[in-house]
Structure 1
Amino acid sequence: MVTAEGPTFVELARQALSSVEHGYDLLAPKFDRTPFRTPDAILDAVARQVQAMGVFDSGLDLCCGTGAGMGVLRQACRERITGVDVSAGMLAVGRRAVPETADGPHVAWVRADARALPFGPVFDLAVSFGAFGHFLPWEWPGLFAQVHAVLRPGGCFVFPIAAPARPGSSSYLAVLAFDAAMRVRNLLWRPPFVMYYRSFRLAPVRDELTRAGFTVHLRDLPELGRRPDGSPCFRLVVAACD
Structure 2
Amino acid sequence: MFSPEGPTLRELAVQALSSVERGYDLLAPKFDHTPYRTPDRVLDAVARALEPMGPFAAGLDLCCGTGAGAGVLARVCRESVTGADFSAGMLRVARERTPPRGPAVSWVRADARALPFGPAFDLVVSFGAFGHFLPRELPGLFGQVRSVLRPGGCFAFPVAAPPRPGSAAYWTLLGFDTAMRVRNALWRPPFVMYYRTFRLGDVGRELARAGFRADLHALPEFGCRPDGSPRVRLVVARASLRPPRQPAAGRVNS
Match of 2:176 in 1: 178
Q: What is the CA–CA distance in structure 2 between the aligned matches of 1:100 and 1:238, rounded to whole Å?
A: 29
The residue identity in structure 2 corresponding to 1:154 is G
Cα-Cα RMSD: 0.8
Q: What is the CA–CA distance in structure 1 between the aligned matches of 2:27 and 2:224, rounded to whole Å?
A: 32
Match of 2:36 in 1: 36
Match of 1:90 in 2: 90
Match of 2:243 in 1: none
SS in 2 for 1:6: coil
Alignment length, in residue pairs?
240
SS in 2 for 1:36: coil
- Gaps in structure 1 of 5+ consecutive residues: none
- Write the deviation string for residues 39-92 of structure 1: whole angstroms up to 9, x where unpaired: 111101000011111201000000000001000000000100000000000001
Match of 1:215 in 2: 213
- State the identity as a percent: 70
The 8 Å contact of residues 66 and 91 in structure 1, kept in 2 or not, is answered as: yes
Q: What is the CA–CA distance in structure 1 between the aligned matches of 2:62 and 2:222, rounded to whole Å?
A: 22
Match of 2:124 in 1: 126
Following superposition, which runs of at least 4 residues in structure 1 exceed 3 angstroms of deviation?
Answer: none
Deviation at 1:162, TM superposition (A): 0.8
**Please, which of 143, 146, 164 is the counterpart of residue 144 of structure 2?**
146
Deviation at 1:229, TM superposition (A): 0.8
Comparing 228-237 with 122-131, greater Cα deviation is found at 228-237
Q: TM-score, normalised by structure 1?
A: 0.98
- Gaps in structure 2 of 5+ consecutive residues: 241-254
Deviation at 1:123, TM superposition (A): 0.2
The 8 Å contact of residues 19 and 191 in structure 1, kept in 2 or not, is answered as: yes
Q: What is the CA–CA distance in structure 1 between the aligned matches of 2:157 and 2:45, rounded to whole Å?
A: 11
Residue 231 (1) aligns with residue 232 (2):
no
SS in 1 for 2:111: coil
The residue identity in structure 2 corresponding to 1:10 is R
The residue identity in structure 1 corresponding to 2:232 is F
Comparing 218-227 with 180-189, greater Cα deviation is found at 218-227
SS in 1 for 2:18: coil
Deviation at 1:230, TM superposition (A): 1.2
Comparing 91-100 with 14-23, greater Cα deviation is found at 91-100
Deviation at 1:4, TM superposition (A): 1.4
The 8 Å contact of residues 125 and 158 in structure 1, kept in 2 or not, is answered as: yes
Deviation at 1:99, TM superposition (A): 3.0
The 8 Å contact of residues 2 and 33 in structure 2, kept in 1 or not, is answered as: no
Q: What is the CA–CA distance in structure 1 between the aligned matches of 2:58 and 2:19, rounded to whole Å?
A: 31
Match of 2:21 in 1: 21
Deviation at 1:231, TM superposition (A): 0.7
